[in-house]
Amino acid sequence: MLERYGRLVYRFQWWFLAAGLLFIIGAGVYGSGVYGSLNQGGFDVPGSQSSRADSIIDRQFGGNHSSLVVLTSSPHETVDDPAYRQALEQLQTVLRQTPGTTGLESYLTSGDARFVSHDRHQSYLLVGLQGDDTAQTATVERLRPLVRRVPLRVQLGGAAAVNAESTAYVRQDLARAERYAFPFTALLLVIIFGSLAAAALPLAVGLYGIFGALVITRLVAYATPMSVYVLNLISLLGLGLAIDYSLFVVSRFREELHKNGGDVAAALARSLGTAGRTIIFSALTVLIALAGLIIFPMGFLRSMGIGGAAAVLVALAGALLFLPALLAILGPKVDALSVASLLPRRFRKPTRGPGNWARLSRWVMRWPRLTVLTALAVLLLAGVPFLGIHFTNPDYHVLPAGSQARAVGVALQQHFAATDQTPIQLVIPGRPASEQLQTYRRQLTGLPNVAAVAEPVSSSSYTLINVYATTDTYSVPTKNLVAHIQQLPADGFKVLVGGQTADLTDLLALIRHDGVYALIVILGGMLALFFLMLGSLVIPLKTIILNVLSLSAAFGALVWIFQQGHLASWLGIMPEDGIDATQPVIIFALAFGLSMDYAVFLFSRVKEHFDEQADIRQAIAWGVQRTGGIITSAALLLLVVIASFTLGRIIIMKEVGIGLIVAVLVDVFIVRLLLVPASMTLLGRHNWWAPNFLKKLYGRFGIKETD
């Protein structure tokens, strides 16, 4: 079917090219408007106790009364000086009169000493904001020029300011990443292909993939909320996978063009019949992995799954629709503008026959047990730091040094008595008697790590009590405080516990619960797909185990760098107290899909030779030789793209980027080149074992790759 399709593309090549160019132009125009369709939230757990509490607060109390933290300071005056107090009153008037604000707490309104710093030269106000994340961001931006008129130094922080700054940084980081990714990727493609014409093709498909995924994301955003952070993932996968898939197709086309004596139609048909089939199955592996993210009801993870799947599908479409038209038109001119003679000899096209990859695999097969034990020891040792991981939710720590919202968060932590300015929020249905509420407040005040318990605030149907902790929002003591509050008996009324700490507690519970179903989808889908390709039950199971071990090294590196602070200054990051709880889930899905992507290419070649020669060692050496170069080239291209995105300033994307870099490096250079040949040597013919009923199933429905 794919070969017939290739001949169809050759026949209507100019129509396919025109459609592809129109798609790029139209998608570029429409997709560029995606920013206005995305939100900064999506980190709450729908249906959870904290989510219900937050929803009631939005409806009944006009939003979270600590959405915005306004920090004021004066180098010479204290809050006790009349000039400082007069400036604070002026600021409060500005805040109250600005549309979109609701509710205000400060030292002037409450007399509470927690609003004043230790040296009394700083004070902060808690301001509620109405509407969703987009509306709150608009209010924050509206306030920035207004607060500058106050004769104090005024800085905006808190969740709303963090969201507003995050959106701006995401847009800037995305533009910067693409500025670096395209030129460096182009240079590497020129080295791989030795031709400017051939090197330009994957970049064209990369634009097709990015713009197309942005269009899909914008359309999906009309039906379901999509996180702004999905833009970075779309660019990363859209560009990275489009280049990888194009590399496979262009390489095969050049080879088939040589075999068929320059017959472009035959070469294109054969390329799509072989490399085209390979990239379809490669895309399926990544899609199965991303399906695991879509299972989670949490908006952020679903956004990543949907946006990532869109990027994969459009990258595949570009490699099967747009790229073949370009190849059909270029034909032998695909090698035009050759620079091979300018490259060092080691970068030129290798000779056929045994090469360095085959020699490496034979060396590994001489000592398979030693290789397996050594590699496994390295992976397990690298994964040890992951045992000490501490999870957090996104807050001001995601922003870079120099960010105003981050500066506010750091100042509150260092200079004020109560380090947690985001309260644990208790929602009580109805309006209990005053005596009951006061008794309950005294019980709350007596709990460990409680800094203050605010006076109850009532609406027509609910009562709200804010509890402030002495410890940071996502610290273990604050999590324990939430647990104590949840277990604290209330006399005659029910309590819903909300706030950011409770949000994290519910998120971790969700990941533990729904993560099981995500694993079933990912592992079950991979197992079925690999079996249909290879007819073996052993190889898929072994591949899954090896991939999980390689991911442990990536997770260990994540904790070692971002939580423990190793290499932090060299990488330009600030170590934090923990890792965002969603990052291991995202990295697992992406890295697992990409590693299985490379496994498809390797094992299909090994099986092809084994079916012909029935010599497992020769099949391994031949498969590694035929795929080692192209897998390594594809991985290097992907690493260049990923590395470009780690240059961004948002810590969430740095975590994803560095986690993926470690996972890809480990998979390509330890798993594929060492563990796979060694383990296959030890298993011998048992590699292809499957129960008889599965063998019959494979005989009827199996997909056999041929050269």
Encode 570-639 in three state secondary structure: HHCCCCCCCEECCHHHHHHHHHHHHHHHHHHHHHHHHHHHHHHHCCHHHHHHHHHHHHHHHHHHHHHHHH
pLDDT tens-digit map of 63-110: 555 678 999 999 999 999 999 999 999 999 999 999 988 878 889 988
Tokens of 432: 């209990």
pLDDT tens-digit map of 486-509: 988 887 788 999 988 898 899 999
pLDDT of 444 reads 92
- Which residues are CB-contacts of 234 (< 8 A; sequence separation ≥ 6)? 210, 213, 214, 217, 307, 308, 310, 311
Query: How many residues are recorded in the chain?
Result: 707
What's the whole-number average pLDDT of the chain? 85
Q: Which domain holds residue 466?
A: 423-498
15, amino acid identity: W
- The total of structural domains in the chain comes to 4
CA distance 238 to 135: 30
Q: Is residue 199 part of a domain?
A: yes
pLDDT band at 458 (very low <50, low <70, confident <90, very high): confident
| pTM, 2 dp | 0.83
Tokens of 589: 């899905």
pLDDT of 34 reads 84
pLDDT tens-digit map of 133-173: 778 888 999 999 999 999 999 999 988 898 888 888 888 88
Same domain, 394 and 428: no
CA distance 556 to 473: 24
Range with lowest mean pLDDT among 375-379, 406-410, 684-688: 684-688
CA distance 235 to 237: 6
Same domain, 610 and 661: yes
pLDDT tens-digit map of 415-430: 887 555 678 999 999 8
CA distance 199 to 206: 12
pLDDT tens-digit map of 311-360: 999 999 999 999 999 999 988 888 887 776 665 555 445 444 456 777 88
CATH number of the domain enclosing 140: 3.30.70.1320
Asked if residues 650 and 359 have their Cβ atoms less than 8 Å apart, the reply is no
Same domain, 234 and 117: no
567 CB burial (10 A radius; 0-12, 13-18, 19+): middle
Q: What percent of the chain shows pLDDT beyond 90?
A: 27
Same domain, 466 and 591: no
Same domain, 314 and 245: yes
pLDDT of 84 reads 94
pLDDT band at 232 (very low <50, low <70, confident <90, very high): confident
pLDDT of 702 reads 67
CA distance 210 to 321: 15
Domain end (from 455, 475, 498): 498
Tokens of 149: 């008129």
pLDDT tens-digit map of 196-222: 888 889 889 988 988 999 999 999 988
Same domain, 610 and 526: yes
CA distance 18 to 242: 19
CA distance 227 to 221: 9
pLDDT of 497 reads 93
CATH number of the domain enclosing 441: 3.30.70.100
Asked if residues 480 and 496 have their Cβ atoms less than 8 Å apart, the reply is no
CA distance 479 to 449: 10
With CA atoms as reference, report the closest residue to 646 among 174, 231, 171, 166.
174
pLDDT band at 707 (very low <50, low <70, confident <90, very high): very low
- By DSSP bridging, strand 579-580 and strand 391-392 are parallel
| Most confident residue range from 60-69, 252-261, 272-281, 377-386 | 377-386
CATH number of the domain enclosing 363: 1.20.1640.10
